[in-house]
Amino acid sequence: MAEMQLNIEIKRYNPEDDDGPHWESYEVPADPLDSALSLLLHVKWHIDGTLSLRKSCAHGICGSDAMQINGENKLACSVLVQDLVDGDGDTITYAPLPSAPVVKDLIIDQSRFFEKYREVKPWLITDGPAPEREREQSPEEHAMIEDATKCIMCGACTHACPSTWADPDYLGPAAMLKAYRYTFDSRDDGAEERLDVVDSPDGLWKCYTIFNCNEACPKDIDITRWLSALKRRAATSQASTKA
């Protein structure tokens, strides 16, 4: 027997039938160590099969089930019931990530998010042919980008940022973290191309260091720190261009 009954409120929206999003409530059994995802799956499998959500690995690796849970952006599979409620009869709310078009229920249209990802050229750009063996990189140089390589592109950060809410064209922390990751890769020669993209009205300077991204990141990446480093690089490169 489950330890408690919880009230689950889900922001539902089916563009084919509904005028707009609305909240629906469900009663579900839960244990403190259940994931927030397992409660949603209970609704989908046992109460209402029409509920739509993205999920895949259920293990915090694929990044498909980022959503707003009790008002905060989280990966549903990586947050436990005990960290969301005090006990029996409490409520957990689920909504799609804010400031993106909703496809259905908890599924957002990620196409803009992935376009921004592509805009920063998230691949190694190198001058000249590949050497016979690998390009060298010291452990210290590797450590510069290691934290940033943990990103799973779940979108929790970008959709937690007030700048994204205010400006849908804002590149957002996820894409700019990728820009950092490659610009600061000691093997990369593409800084200029990438800085052209991020050093723009919709880029770095709309990051006001509010730290929402850091709080939302399920991988605890120090995003603000890396974006600050990228800002410094952009500023120096601007200065040297002017000089």
Query: Per this entry, what is the length of the chain?
Result: 243
Helix (H, G, I), strand (E, B) or coil at 230: helix
DSSP 113-124: HHHHHHHT--S-
Q: What is the token pair recorded at 99?
A: 């400031």
75: Cα separation from own chain's centroid: 9
CA nearest to 64, candidates 55, 73, 76: 55
- Residue 15 near other proteins by CB under 8 A: no
- Residue 53 near other proteins by CB under 8 A: no
CA distances from 143 to 53, 90, 188, 224 (A): 36, 43, 15, 17
Of the candidate spans 19-27, 33-41, 84-92, 231-239, the one that interacts with other proteins by CB under 8 A turns out to be 33-41
Of the candidate spans 90-98, 146-154, 161-169, 224-232, the one that interacts with other proteins by CB under 8 A turns out to be 146-154
CA dist., res. 72 & res. 62, Å (int): 19
- Residue 124 near other proteins by CB under 8 A: yes
Binds other proteins by CB under 8 A, chosen from 16, 134, 239, 243: 134
- Residue 59 near other proteins by CB under 8 A: yes
Closer to other proteins at the Cβ: 91 or 111?
Answer: 111
Closer to other proteins at the Cβ: 104 or 233?
Answer: 104
* Binding residues for other proteins (CB under 8 A): 32-35, 38, 44-45, 49, 54, 56-59, 61-64, 78, 80, 117-118, 121-124, 126, 130, 133-139, 141-142, 145-146, 149-150, 152-153, 182, 185, 187-188
